[in-house]
Amino acid sequence: MKTSRTLGLTMLALAAMPFAVSQAFAADKNVPAAEIKYEGAGGSPLGDVEMHQDVNPKAPAMSKEEFEKGRKVYFERCAGCHGVLRKGATGKPLTPDITLERGTEYLKTFINYGSPAGMPNWGTSGELTEDEVDLMARYVQQTPPQPPEYGMAEMKATWKVIVPPEKRPTKKMNSYNISNIFSTTLRDTGEVALIDGDTKQIINIVKTGYAVHISRLSASGRYLYVVGRDAKVNMIDLWMETPDNVAEIRVGLEARSVDTSKYKGYEDKFAVAGSYWPPQYVIMKGDTLEPLKVVGTRGMTVDTQEYHPEPRVASIVASHFKPEFVINVKETGKTLMVDYSDIENLKTTEIGSARFLHDGGWDSTKRYFMVAANKSNKIAAIDAKEGKLVGLTEVGAIPHPGRGANFVHPKFGPVWATGHLGDDSIALIGTDPAKHPKQAWQLVANLKSQGGGSLFIKTHPKSKHLYVDNPLHPDTGVSQSVAVYDINNLDAGYKVLPIGEWAGLPDDGGAKRVVQPEYNKAGDEVWFSVWSAKDKASAIVVVDDKTLELKTVIKDPKLITPTGHFNVYNTQHDVY
């Protein structure tokens, strides 16, 4: 990838290229396409939020209707990379001080043909019409509209306790094996499906926020917390006769993360959720979601020490060593160890690592949090016991581990693994500083996978297999299958399981992308979502981990756009 070229050089080069040459040059990069598809999947919920148009006399004229259309396109396709305020995130800044100098014709070329550094060729690919390319070239020269702030008053206005704690069951009122329930995101309907892992039957379809990003469990395993991209948090009581919502709140306008207090003596006491917009997190009561404390994350970046106005809260986990939440702030590259033992006198340890912190998971001891600084192509290791950075490892292009995968390598001992959005490598990082100090926080091996576009990698302590998906790969043969490795014979390469084919879905043009391997509690089954469009058939495929053969397929008209699914026991106990 020719990532060292500046925006200006790229624009000049593209403007000078013949149409066919520049189109091929901009469009032949599968890796950036996967990232763009990921960042822009479904668009930002902020596209529907009312914002004020600030008319800049230096900018090209735009009617209010044109401005609103441009804003909608921007938040659907561009904000994930360039930021809400266009200050730049994983993509370049697109603020008026830059765009006005470039001019409309210059920007039209850039938007139309894309760039070798990763900008998609929105025009020549057919994603945007000629009129829309012109519209967006004019839109990015306008003053960026700022979404409204969202504080305690706004949160309390959305907070609902549907079933108060005193009216909830005092014991489990159903016969379900709760520890083997799967919480499955039905992305485009704003729901989660609770599926019985034993019988493979749907227990309930629960209304939630839009495009639920993750499901997390309380320390006791009784309550399930989910957060939608629209920042709505739902709390589901698994003890009810039919598990359902007991509380809900909206903590912002866009979000991705939620978790609960896990440290001894604080089990189920607090919940915490982080927002993309506004850039902040909120600590809530664990039994009602009543908001208690809102904390902003705007501040200086870890590298250039420059102020960033919208550092998004990415992943959050709860420490097992202290009463702390581990809060990762994307654009500033900082991990915040937030002590919740006294939230009125909140103490925070700030740990700097690398910018663009995203997702991650614990090592096998649950002491070290391994978090991907995705656009920096690094994995940071945070010591939750000592409260400091202990490792920063260079890996492949755009690591995206989900929570990663822990296993014992035959040669290097305990390792944690991540796949990548941007290349076909699987990075193995040593995680045992006590018995394997030379390997600790080092890239000890790289496996070759089917390709880029990977979102999740998974194994289990009782399994000898390692599964890697590639749902955003451009080749349907790859995106509709999964690679599986024998942990004890990694040099043998991978075997491909045709999950999409096994789903037996109709040939209706659905994407059938295979996403997120997830084990059952026993560790002898692996579940995969086969994800198609809202108007196409989807399914969940269950594979026998011992034989790598199809075990069953779960189909139901209510399983609309299933994506992530989270086993209660494994999520509660950080088994991955």
**Digit-coded pLDDT (tens) for 327-360:** 999 999 999 999 999 999 999 999 999 999 999 9
Running DSSP on this structure, what letter comes out for residue 474?
Answer: S
pLDDT at 41: 56
Report the half-sphere exposure of 371 (CA within 13 A, side-chain side).
Answer: 32
pLDDT at 59: 93
Answer yes or no: 51 catalytic: no
**Digit-coded pLDDT (tens) for 111-159:** 999 876 667 889 998 889 999 999 999 999 999 998 999 999 999 999 9
Q: Which helix (H) or strand (E) holds 260?
A: strand 254-260
Instruction: Give whole-number Cα distances, 380 to 330, 357, 442, 445, in Å.
Output: 12, 9, 11, 17
**Digit-coded pLDDT (tens) for 298-322:** 999 999 999 999 999 999 999 999 9
The length of the chain, given as a count of residues: 576
Distance CA 159, CA 473 (A): 39
**Digit-coded pLDDT (tens) for 517-574:** 999 999 999 999 999 999 999 999 999 999 999 999 999 999 999 999 999 999 999 9
pLDDT at 294: 98
Q: Is 1 a residue whose pLDDT tops 50?
A: no
Provide the token pair at 325.
């939440």
Distance CA 318, CA 528 (A): 26
Q: Is 251 a residue whose pLDDT tops 90?
A: yes
pLDDT at 125: 84
Mean pLDDT of the 61-79 span: 91
Q: Chain-wide mean pLDDT for the chain? A: 91
Answer yes or no: 460 catalytic: no
Running DSSP on this structure, what letter comes out for residue 17?
Answer: S
Answer yes or no: 119 catalytic: yes
Return the higher-pLDDT residue of 281 and 125: 281
pLDDT at 47: 74
Distance CA 229, CA 148 (A): 17
| H helix runs in 114-185, sequence order | 130-139, 152-158
Distance CA 154, CA 251 (A): 8
pLDDT at 116: 66
Distance CA 17, CA 3 (A): 18
**Digit-coded pLDDT (tens) for 227-237:** 999 999 999 99
Provide the token pair at 128.
């945007």
The percent of residues in the chain predicted with pLDDT above 90, rounded, is 84
Distance CA 444, CA 300 (A): 33
Answer yes or no: 370 catalytic: no
* Cis omega (within 30 of 0) for bond into 278: yes
Q: Is 470 a residue whose pLDDT tops 80?
A: yes
- Please check whether residue 436 is in contact with residue 388, taking contact to mean a CB–CB distance below 8 angstroms: no
pLDDT at 11: 34
Name the E strands within 459-556: 465-469, 482-486, 494-497, 513-519, 525-531, 539-544, 549-554
Report the half-sphere exposure of 520 (CA within 13 A, side-chain side).
Answer: 22
What is the residue-wise DSSP string for 40-105? TTT--GGGGS-------TTSPP--HHHHHHHHHHHHHHTHHHH-TTSS-SSS----HHHHHHH-HH
Sign of the Cα torsion 411, 412, 414, 419 reads negative
Provide the token pair at 183.
């919480």
Answer yes or no: 465 catalytic: no
Which residue do the tokens 């009216």 mark? 167
pLDDT at 117: 63
Provide the token pair at 32.
């950036």
Catalytic residue (one of 11, 17, 62, 78): 78
Catalytic residue (one of 62, 119, 155, 284): 119
Catalytic residue (one of 400, 465, 473, 565): 400
The residues near 248 (Cβ < 8 Å, ≥ 6 apart) are 158, 159, 160, 162, 232, 233, 234, 235, 289
Distance CA 83, CA 481 (A): 32
pLDDT at 565: 94
**Residue of 243, 210, 204 whose CA lies nearest to 226:** 210
Catalytic residue (one of 308, 358, 436, 473): 358
What single letter denotes the amino acid at residue 393?
Answer: T
User: Hey, is 119 helix, strand or coil?
Assistant: coil
pLDDT at 38: 59
Mean pLDDT of the 277-292 span: 98
Running DSSP on this structure, what letter comes out for residue 146?
Answer: P
Mean pLDDT of the 212-216 span: 96
Catalytic residue (one of 11, 81, 235, 370): 81
- Report angle CA 8, 9, 15 to the nearest 5 degrees: 90
Q: Is 15 a residue whose pLDDT tops 50?
A: no
pLDDT at 27: 35
pLDDT at 77: 86
Return the higher-pLDDT residue of 402 and 48: 402
Distance CA 96, CA 102 (A): 9
Distance CA 356, CA 330 (A): 4
Bridge partners of 443, per DSSP, are 429
User: Hey, is 123 helix, strand or coil?
Assistant: coil
Answer yes or no: 78 catalytic: yes
